[in-house]
Protein backbone atom coordinates (compact mmCIF):
# COMPACT_ATOMS: atom_id res chain seq x y z
CA UNK A 1 0.00 0.00 0.00
CA UNK A 2 1.22 3.48 -0.87
CA UNK A 3 1.41 6.49 1.40
CA UNK A 4 -1.26 8.28 -0.67
CA UNK A 5 -4.75 7.59 -1.99
CA UNK A 6 -6.71 8.90 -4.97
CA UNK A 7 -9.59 11.40 -4.71
CA UNK A 8 -11.84 12.39 -7.61
CA UNK A 9 -13.26 15.93 -7.92
CA UNK A 10 -16.71 15.30 -9.39
CA UNK A 11 -17.02 18.91 -10.56
CA UNK A 12 -13.94 18.55 -12.77
CA UNK A 13 -14.71 15.05 -14.04
CA UNK A 14 -15.59 15.02 -17.78
CA UNK A 15 -16.60 11.33 -17.78
CA UNK A 16 -13.76 10.23 -20.06
CA UNK A 17 -13.49 7.20 -17.78
CA UNK A 18 -9.87 6.40 -18.60
CA UNK A 19 -9.29 5.93 -14.88
CA UNK A 20 -11.66 2.95 -14.89
CA UNK A 21 -9.52 1.06 -17.38
CA UNK A 22 -6.10 1.75 -15.88
CA UNK A 23 -6.88 1.24 -12.18
CA UNK A 24 -5.36 -2.14 -11.22
CA UNK A 25 -7.74 -2.76 -8.30
CA UNK A 26 -11.05 -1.34 -9.56
CA UNK A 27 -11.07 1.36 -6.87
CA UNK A 28 -12.05 4.03 -9.43
CA UNK A 29 -15.08 2.10 -10.70
CA UNK A 30 -17.88 2.89 -8.24
CA UNK A 31 -21.58 3.69 -8.52
CA UNK A 32 -21.33 7.03 -6.71
CA UNK A 33 -18.16 8.22 -8.56
CA UNK A 34 -16.25 8.39 -5.24
CA UNK A 35 -13.02 6.39 -5.41
CA UNK A 36 -13.01 3.46 -2.99
CA UNK A 37 -10.01 4.20 -0.76
CA UNK A 38 -10.22 0.74 0.80
CA UNK A 39 -9.19 -0.67 -2.61
CA UNK A 40 -6.84 2.15 -3.65
CA UNK A 41 -3.15 1.18 -3.45
CA UNK A 42 -1.87 4.72 -4.13
CA UNK A 43 -0.14 3.92 -7.43
CA UNK A 44 -1.30 7.22 -9.02
CA UNK A 45 -2.00 5.69 -12.46
CA UNK A 46 -5.58 7.00 -12.52
CA UNK A 47 -4.38 10.52 -11.71
CA UNK A 48 -1.85 10.41 -14.52
CA UNK A 49 -4.42 9.10 -17.01
CA UNK A 50 -7.22 11.57 -16.19
CA UNK A 51 -7.38 14.14 -19.05
CA UNK A 52 -9.39 16.64 -17.01
CA UNK A 53 -7.15 16.63 -13.93
CA UNK A 54 -10.09 15.55 -11.79
CA UNK A 55 -8.11 13.03 -9.72
CA UNK A 56 -5.57 14.06 -7.08
CA UNK A 57 -3.32 12.01 -4.85
CA UNK A 58 -3.82 12.83 -1.17
CA UNK A 59 -1.33 11.86 1.58
CA UNK A 60 -2.66 9.44 4.19
CA UNK A 61 -0.87 11.38 6.90
CA UNK A 62 -1.44 15.11 6.63
CA UNK A 63 1.61 17.33 7.16
CA UNK A 64 1.83 19.50 10.28
CA UNK A 65 1.10 23.21 10.10
CA UNK A 66 4.08 25.38 9.21
CA UNK A 67 5.32 27.32 12.22
CA UNK A 68 5.35 31.12 12.10
CA UNK A 69 7.11 33.72 14.18
CA UNK A 70 5.02 36.36 15.95
CA UNK A 71 5.99 38.90 13.28
CA UNK A 72 4.81 36.64 10.46
CA UNK A 73 1.54 35.88 12.25
CA UNK A 74 0.93 39.60 12.84
CA UNK A 75 1.64 40.33 9.16
CA UNK A 76 -0.79 37.59 8.07
CA UNK A 77 -3.52 38.92 10.35
CA UNK A 78 -3.03 42.47 9.07
CA UNK A 79 -3.13 41.33 5.44
CA UNK A 80 -6.21 39.21 6.08
CA UNK A 81 -8.02 42.17 7.66
CA UNK A 82 -7.04 44.35 4.72
CA UNK A 83 -8.36 41.87 2.16
CA UNK A 84 -11.62 41.44 4.07
CA UNK A 85 -12.08 45.22 4.17
CA UNK A 86 -11.39 45.49 0.44
CA UNK A 87 -13.91 42.72 -0.25
CA UNK A 88 -16.60 44.56 1.74
CA UNK A 89 -15.91 47.81 -0.12
CA UNK A 90 -16.03 46.11 -3.53
CA UNK A 91 -19.29 44.31 -2.67
CA UNK A 92 -20.99 47.68 -2.26
CA UNK A 93 -19.98 48.89 -5.74
CA UNK A 94 -21.59 48.11 -9.08
CA UNK A 95 -20.04 46.81 -12.27
CA UNK A 96 -18.19 43.71 -13.37
CA UNK A 97 -14.80 45.11 -12.30
CA UNK A 98 -15.98 45.63 -8.71
CA UNK A 99 -17.39 42.07 -8.74
CA UNK A 100 -14.02 40.73 -9.93
CA UNK A 101 -12.17 42.63 -7.19
CA UNK A 102 -14.60 41.31 -4.57
CA UNK A 103 -14.08 37.69 -5.61
CA UNK A 104 -10.32 38.16 -5.94
CA UNK A 105 -10.06 39.55 -2.41
CA UNK A 106 -12.13 36.65 -1.07
CA UNK A 107 -9.81 34.08 -2.69
CA UNK A 108 -6.71 35.88 -1.42
CA UNK A 109 -8.19 36.10 2.09
CA UNK A 110 -8.90 32.35 2.06
CA UNK A 111 -5.33 31.63 0.95
CA UNK A 112 -3.98 33.79 3.77
CA UNK A 113 -6.24 32.06 6.30
CA UNK A 114 -5.08 28.68 5.02
CA UNK A 115 -1.44 29.72 5.36
CA UNK A 116 -2.12 30.91 8.91
CA UNK A 117 -3.47 27.46 9.77
CA UNK A 118 -7.17 28.19 10.12
CA UNK A 119 -8.16 26.08 7.12
CA UNK A 120 -5.95 23.07 7.81
CA UNK A 121 -8.16 20.58 9.69
CA UNK A 122 -5.13 18.82 11.19
CA UNK A 123 -3.61 21.96 12.71
CA UNK A 124 -3.72 22.88 16.39
CA UNK A 125 -5.21 26.28 15.50
CA UNK A 126 -8.14 24.72 13.62
CA UNK A 127 -8.78 22.17 16.39
CA UNK A 128 -8.70 24.84 19.07
CA UNK A 129 -11.13 26.98 17.05
CA UNK A 130 -13.53 24.06 16.50
CA UNK A 131 -13.43 23.12 20.19
CA UNK A 132 -14.41 26.69 21.11
CA UNK A 133 -17.36 26.53 18.69
CA UNK A 134 -18.46 23.16 20.06
CA UNK A 135 -18.33 24.41 23.66
CA UNK A 136 -19.96 27.74 22.80
CA UNK A 137 -22.05 27.40 19.60
CA UNK A 138 -22.41 30.77 17.81
CA UNK A 139 -26.06 30.02 16.90
CA UNK A 140 -28.82 27.49 17.50
CA UNK A 141 -28.39 25.96 14.04
CA UNK A 142 -24.61 25.48 14.41
CA UNK A 143 -23.74 21.88 13.31
CA UNK A 144 -22.19 20.87 16.63
CA UNK A 145 -22.27 17.13 15.86
CA UNK A 146 -20.46 17.67 12.55
CA UNK A 147 -17.75 19.73 14.26
CA UNK A 148 -17.30 17.02 16.91
CA UNK A 149 -17.05 14.39 14.15
CA UNK A 150 -14.32 16.39 12.40
CA UNK A 151 -12.36 16.63 15.66
CA UNK A 152 -12.61 12.84 16.04
CA UNK A 153 -11.86 11.87 12.44
CA UNK A 154 -8.88 14.19 11.81
CA UNK A 155 -6.22 13.89 14.51
CA UNK A 156 -4.37 17.02 15.52
CA UNK A 157 -0.78 16.53 14.39
CA UNK A 158 0.90 19.75 15.42
CA UNK A 159 0.91 22.31 18.18
CA UNK A 160 1.43 26.03 18.61
CA UNK A 161 3.63 25.42 21.65
CA UNK A 162 7.35 24.71 21.66
CA UNK A 163 8.58 21.19 20.93
CA UNK A 164 8.71 19.08 24.06
CA UNK A 165 5.93 20.96 25.85
CA UNK A 166 3.27 18.66 24.46
CA UNK A 167 3.45 14.94 23.76
CA UNK A 168 1.57 13.45 20.82
CA UNK A 169 0.49 9.90 21.62
CA UNK A 170 -1.12 7.14 19.57
CA UNK A 171 -4.06 4.86 20.31
CA UNK A 172 -4.90 1.88 18.09
CA UNK A 173 -8.34 0.38 17.54
CA UNK A 174 -8.15 -3.32 18.42
CA UNK A 175 -10.96 -4.08 15.98
CA UNK A 176 -9.86 -2.51 12.67
CA UNK A 177 -6.39 -1.13 13.38
CA UNK A 178 -7.26 2.58 12.98
CA UNK A 179 -4.71 4.77 14.77
CA UNK A 180 -5.71 7.98 16.57
CA UNK A 181 -3.01 10.55 17.31
CA UNK A 182 -3.28 13.36 19.84
CA UNK A 183 -2.40 14.54 23.32
CA UNK A 184 -5.06 12.23 24.75
CA UNK A 185 -7.89 10.04 23.50
CA UNK A 186 -11.16 11.98 23.96
CA UNK A 187 -13.60 10.45 26.45
CA UNK A 188 -16.30 8.56 24.58
CA UNK A 189 -14.31 8.49 21.32
CA UNK A 190 -15.79 6.27 18.60
CA UNK A 191 -13.66 4.75 15.82
CA UNK A 192 -14.51 6.61 12.57
CA UNK A 193 -13.80 3.44 10.54
CA UNK A 194 -15.52 0.55 12.32
CA UNK A 195 -17.49 2.46 15.01
CA UNK A 196 -15.77 0.58 17.83
CA UNK A 197 -16.17 2.27 21.26
CA UNK A 198 -13.57 4.09 23.32
CA UNK A 199 -12.78 0.93 25.31
CA UNK A 200 -11.47 -0.87 22.21
CA UNK A 201 -8.51 1.51 21.86
CA UNK A 202 -5.12 0.72 23.35
CA UNK A 203 -2.27 3.19 23.77
CA UNK A 204 0.78 2.46 21.62
CA UNK A 205 4.19 2.57 23.29
Q: Could you list the pLDDT tens digit for every one of the 205 residues in the chain?
A: 558 899 999 889 988 889 999 999 999 998 888 999 899 998 899 999 999 999 999 888 777 777 777 888 788 888 988 999 999 999 999 999 999 999 999 999 988 887 777 777 788 888 888 888 988 888 999 998 898 888 888 888 765 444 444 456 788 889 988 888 777 788 788 887 788 898 999 988 7
pTM for the full predicted model: 0.46
**Every domain range in the chain assigned CATH 3.30.70.20:** 4-59
DSSP 9-67: -TTT--S--HHHHH-SSSTT--TTS---TTT-----HHHHH-TT--EEEEESSPPPPPP
143-147 own/partner pairs: CB under 8 Å, 24+ apart: none
Q: Are 3 and 59 in contact (CB under 8 A)?
A: yes
Q: Determine the pLDDT at residue 179.
A: 82
Q: Which CATH number fits domain 167-205: 1.20.58.760, 3.40.50.1970, 2.20.28.10, 3.40.190.10?
A: 2.20.28.10
* pLDDT for residue 142: 92
Delimiting residues of CATH 2.20.28.10 domain(s) in the chain: 167-205
Pick the CATH number of 4-59 from 3.40.140.10, 3.30.70.20, 2.30.110.10, 3.40.50.300: 3.30.70.20
Q: What pLDDT is attached to residue 27?
A: 93
Question: Which among 118, 113, 88 is positioned nearest to 102, based on CA atoms?
Answer: 88
Which one, of 90, 163, 73, lies nearest residue 125 by Cα? 73
Amino acid sequence: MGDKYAVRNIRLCTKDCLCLYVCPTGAADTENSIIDISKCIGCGICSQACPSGAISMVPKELPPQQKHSEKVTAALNALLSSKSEQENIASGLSGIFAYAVEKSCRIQAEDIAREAGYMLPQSHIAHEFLRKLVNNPPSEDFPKETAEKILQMIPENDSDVLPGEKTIKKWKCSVCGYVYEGEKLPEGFVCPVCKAPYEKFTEQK
